[in-house]
Amino acid sequence: MPESILVLTHTDESGLLTKCSLETVSAGKELAERLAAPLTIGIIAAEPTSAAQALRGCKARVLSVCGEVFAQARYATDVAGCEALYKATDATLILAPQSSRIARVAAGFANRIAGSIDTHINSIRSTDSVEVSRWFYRQRIEASMTRSARPWILLIEGGVYPAFTPGEGEVLPEKILVELPEIHTTVIGTRAPAQDAQTIRPDARMLFVAGAGWTKKQPDGEVHTSQAGDLILTFLDRTGASLGSSKSLVDQGGDGQPVLPFLTHMNQVGQTGSTPRHPRGLATCCHGEEPHVVGWRFISERRAISLDPNCGWTRGKADVVYVADAFKVMAQLNELLGSKA
């Protein structure tokens, strides 16, 4: 059965195509070339013309659903937009970024078009059939699979493909009419968690993982939560690292134990948290499986500081483990980083 490919993209607050969208364009372009399949790119945006210029030289048909209702992410309108783009193409394979906006609507969209969907895709291969890979059980088992049914929607994880680089020329997207449903939801905007500074930085080169040991009794028999907080924030400030945390550390707030005030569940990595992608990761005071196995599955270079020389979870997972007191090491490290700044 000949395939035809639709890549769904969307804009961010600035009106430009998101990085994740451009990565999915690369994935779609590569797949279209391998399958010799026609490629269409669909844009969901309030105003698609300027966003479409990021697709110059893509050699694809470009469609858009546009208008003020698409300025913000909302289930009812976005799912209608996706459906309209699909109906204009009748694609057999639909690729879309694994962004919060698309992830909110993609399964509902699949149901509407009687299609199948697989999410968090980290590779696509095509030989006799299209085969994809994804993780199961929170990044602990990797499986590859295929489906014969079409249409098949695939949400592509960020960071898997390079972002598409535009070439020459001008792109004029064809506007597709959308039958809008009754709207019951109004998007007010976005809100950052109540904390002094944003500590979640998806584009940072480094992930700093704080474990529960930071708020436990230290060798002098006392807890030093305030000092721990200062050390961590200073490190983040001097390196621009993103902050991840183990579940046990975040949960302490609910249990009435000493807490680091800038931590929220949004910082949590691991089984019930995120699995961020950064080139480097430094875990401190973590003892347990989740930060080491699940939380930094996609961290390339990994180091850890732990007082426990027998911490089996780091063995085989980290590149280097320093058996040391993280309070002392981080104080020295901050001093060194400060003197270099």
Partner 1 sequence: MPLHIVVCAGIVPDPLQTLEPITGPNGPALKNEMMLPAVLDPWAASALYEGANLAGKNQGSRLWLVSLGPKAKLQQVLMTIAQKVSFELFAVDSPSGGFADAHATAAALSEAIAAIPGLDNSRLLLFGGWESASRGAGVTLQIIGERLGITDQFMGVDQIDFREDGSFEVLERVEGGRHQVSVCSGAPAVLGWATGNLPEPRNNPQIGMANMRTVMPALQKAKLAALSNGSLQYLSASLPAQQRQTRVVKDMPPEAIAQELAEWIGGE
Q: Which of residues 30-89 bind partner 1 (CB under 8 A)?
A: 73-76, 79
Number of amino acids touching partner 1 (CB under 8 A): 96
Q: Which of 122, 146, 234, 257 binds partner 1 (CB under 8 A)?
A: 146
Per the CB < 8 A criterion, the answer to whether 96 and 24 are in contact is yes
Rule CB under 8 A: say whether 191 interacts with partner 1: yes
* Positions in 276-335 near partner 1 (CB under 8 A): 280, 282, 289-290, 297, 301-303, 305, 309, 314-325, 328-333, 335
Which of 105, 163, 204, 210: binder of partner 1 (CB under 8 A)? Answer: 105
| Among 2, 14, 128, 148, interactor with partner 1 by CB under 8 A | 148
Distance between the two ends of the chain, CA-based, in angstroms? 59
Residue of 108, 65, 86 lying closest to 5 (CA atoms)? 86
Closest CB to partner 1 among 61 and 308? Answer: 308
200: Cβ contacts below 8 Å, ≥ 6 apart: 242, 243, 266, 267
What residues does 278 pair with on adjacent strands? 299
Please say which residue, 145 or 172, places its beta carbon nearer to partner 1.
Answer: 145
Instruction: State how far the alpha carbon of 119 is from the alpha carbons of 53, 85, 87, 217, 266, in Å.
Output: 28, 19, 21, 42, 21
Binding segment for partner 1 among 47-55, 99-107, 159-167, 219-227 (CB under 8 A)? Answer: 99-107
Q: Are 69 and 44 in contact (CB under 8 A)?
A: no
| Distance in Å, CB of 154 to partner 1, minimum | 12
Interaction residues for partner 1, span 157-186 (CB under 8 A): 181, 184-186
In the complex, least distance from residue 272 CB atom to partner 1, rounded to whole angstroms: 4
Cβ at position 274, least distance to partner 1 in Å: 9
| Residues shown for the chain | 341
- 95 forms beta bridges with 7, 154
